[in-house]
A and B are shown apart, each in its own frame.
Chain A
Amino acid sequence: MPTLSPSVRKSATLIYHFAERESKARYKRSILGWFWSFMNPLTTVIVYSFVFGVVYGAKAPLTSNGNAENFGLYLFTGLVVWSLFTGIVNGSMGWLTSVSDLRKKIYFPTETALLGGAAANAVQTSLEVVVLIAIMLVAANLSWTLIFLPIAVLMALFFALGLGFIAAIYNARYRDIQYLVGILLNVAFFAVPIVYTPTLLDNDDIPDIVRILVEWNPPALFVEIARDATYFLEVPQWNRMLAALAWTVVTFSIGWWYFRDQSMAISEEP
């Protein structure tokens, strides 16, 4: 490909390599392999629907055409985006540490390890999206608004990478960061309306600030846009789209810049 500069081609080859390694490592020594990537979200959906839908009697909002009113589906749509987000933020730190010894002996652009890991997670998410669309097809709940789903997924991916770049550099210095990030993500899970609906917060006991936080935090925006696209079959509100895009562009740019600025020092860490 003569149009690609050598450094771009080199990075592309490396990203592919790291993505392949991440995907292979995930289901190494397993017989059923990719089957598990379907099983994991599926069991989560079944367990959560039972606990929240049956035990607690949580009601999912009705879809626009009234074809689906299923807490499991409502949940699954949110989980697809959320697991991509956490997978990348959590994974970034490990992807960098796993190549840092190598980087002390040979030069290569370290960001390719993170981009490759993110690509592997994106493949996993695509499989989940296929399952989601298949179920929605059976439920006759599909519309052209589906085109907003990949947009939501891509924004979640680049936003997560931005955070992942920063977390990975800090984690190279202090391994505490990975535990801290793990805890923060567990907390954040409940700041995003995944296992509950935002309408649950329409309660006078809940301060406005909580409502604003839950509605406008970036992962929640990505989740809501994905839900508009596949569950409610509505065009996402433009101000949410704009906010989500702004979060994504700003976070990814800062993360990328910070990582590029600091990554040469990785080889000097003891």
Chain B
Amino acid sequence: MNTGSIHVRGVSKRFRLERNRPSSLKEALLRTGKKKDVDDFWALRDIDLDIEPGAFFGLIGHNGSGKSTLLRLMANIHAPTTGEIEATGRLSALLELGSGFHPDLTGRENVYLNGAMLGLSRRQMAESMDRIIEFSGIGEFIDEPVKIYSSGMYVRLGFAVAVNVDPEILLVDEVIAVGDEEFQRRCMDHMHQLRDKGTTIVLVSHNAGLMSRLCDRVGWLDHGRLLALGDATEVVDRYLAHVNSAGDNTLTTHD
């Protein structure tokens, strides 16, 4: 059985930051032949990791460490610059606020659209529609355009869709921090249920407590490189030790 596995092999990701990027064709044509003002930013470097079916995997690291980029690569939103990522199984991703919603469509239409993007037919989505509405708790707003939703409603509907489409791989990018406490608890319960069903889950967060509580294995990213990979509590402890010592340093230098 290999559904629900992710294999990352020698992956690097470069973003080109073009300063003074020509915003129109005229500018671009006027500038032909001149040297481009390009900055290369390597968000990830030589990442190798394997996530086996049924694993609850965590990615930890400070802001800008590349953990969200790695998650986006796993979700096939960006293509890696080098190396390859192989994700087998139906993949459902919850990357940021209202990921994958079209603002002009109603909640219901967006649920169908999301389903289509995950490869589910309209009939299959119709079957889970009631469950999704119930889980998100947004009631009659389901038939309103999502642009009028509050940020909480956005996330709740997004999460409800992501977990109710029966994914084999679920990618979550610390969005669960947004909802109220009751919703957060339901999300946790649901993630546990999914894990018990054998769903592979990848969670990105810098909440060390959450990570060691939920995950089996954790990868620690720092400036685009994988610093440590292994047992959750072990890696999280090393990460915390590092953060604390860095904190001590800044304190002492301030003194």
A residues apposed to B, CB below 8 Å = 6-7, 9-10, 13-14, 17, 21, 102-108, 174-177, 180, 264-265, 267-268, 270
Choose one: B96, B100, B116; the contact of A17 (CB below 8 Å).
B116
Distance from A15 Cβ to chain B, minimum over Cβ atoms (Å) = 9
Task: Give Cα distance in the complex from A163 to B150, angstroms.
Answer: 40
In the assembly, what is the distance between CA of A23 and CA of B101, in Å? 20
Question: How far apart are the CA atoms of A174 and B79 in the complex, in Å?
Answer: 22
Inter-chain CA distance A264–B77, complex, in Å, is 7
A to B CB contacts below 8 Å, 21 in the list: A6-B119, A10-B116, A10-B117, A13-B116, A13-B119, A13-B120, A14-B116, A17-B113, A102-B101, A102-B102, A105-B77, A105-B96, A105-B98, A174-B23, A174-B24, A174-B25, A175-B24, A180-B25, A267-B77, A268-B78, A270-B21
| Proximity string of chain B (75-117) to chain A, C-beta cutoff 8 Å, 1 when within and 0 when not | 1111100000000000001011011111001000000111011
Q: Of B21, B25, B99, B105, which contacts A106 at CB under 8 A?
A: B99
Closest residue of A by beta carbon distance from B76: A107
Among candidates B78, B79, B122, residue contacting A13 with C-beta atoms closer than 8 Å: B122
Contacts of B243 in A (CB 8 A): none
The winner among B76, B101, B119, B122 for most chain A CB atoms within 10 A is: B119
Interface residues of B (CB under 8 A from A): 15, 21-26, 28, 75-79, 93, 95-96, 98-102, 105, 112-114, 116-122
The interface residues of chain B lying within 8 Å CB-to-CB of A102 are 100-102
Contacts A174-B25, A174-B28, A176-B24; A105 near B119 (Cβ below 8 A): no
How long is the Cα–Cα vector from A204 to B119 in the complex, in angstroms? 61
Q: Is the CB of A10 within 8 A of B119?
A: yes
Contact B100 A106 (CB under 8 A): yes
Q: Distance (Å) between the CB of A244 and the closest chain B CB?
A: 31
Contact A106 B93 (CB under 8 A): yes
B99 contacts A105, CB within 8 Å? yes
Give Cα distance in the complex from A268 to B116, angstroms: 23
